[in-house]
Amino acid sequence: MVARHYLQAGFTVIYQDIIIGSALAEVIAMFHDVPLSAIVLCPKAEVVAARDTARSKTGYATETMVYAFDRILRTETPRLGYWLDSTNLTVEETVERILAIASPGGFQNE
C-alpha cells in the first residue's frame, strides 16, 4: 500500500522484500497496473550462509534454514522477473546491475 501511494505521488519506487514461493506471483499481480521490474537476487546458498555468518545481526537461526530457504526459492518460486545470481558480485556491483536492469530499456516484466 505504501509503495502504491508513493507511485501515485510521482516517485520512482523500489519495493524491497523477501518474497518466495507462490507469493511472488501474487505480489507482482498487485502491481499489474504500473510499470514494474521484478528482480530476484539468487546467490548460492553457501555464499548466503557465509555472508550471514559474517554479519553482526543474522537473518537465519541456523545454516539449515539458509538451505531450506534456498530450496523454496529455487523449486517453488515461479521464474518471474529477472533472476540475478549475485554470488560473485559485491554490493556495489549488485546495485549497478539492478539499476541497469530497472532502467528504461532494461528488463521489464510482461
Confidence class for position 14, pLDDT limits 50, 70, 90: confident
- Which residues, including other chains, have CB under 8 Å from residue 17's CB and lie 6 or more apart? 27
Confidence class for position 106, pLDDT limits 50, 70, 90: low
Model's pTM, two decimal places? 0.83
List the chain domain ranges.
2-102
| Separation between Cα atoms, residue 25 and residue 79, nearest integer Å | 9
DSSP state of 104: T
Dump pLDDT digits (tens) for 83-103. 999 999 999 999 999 988 887
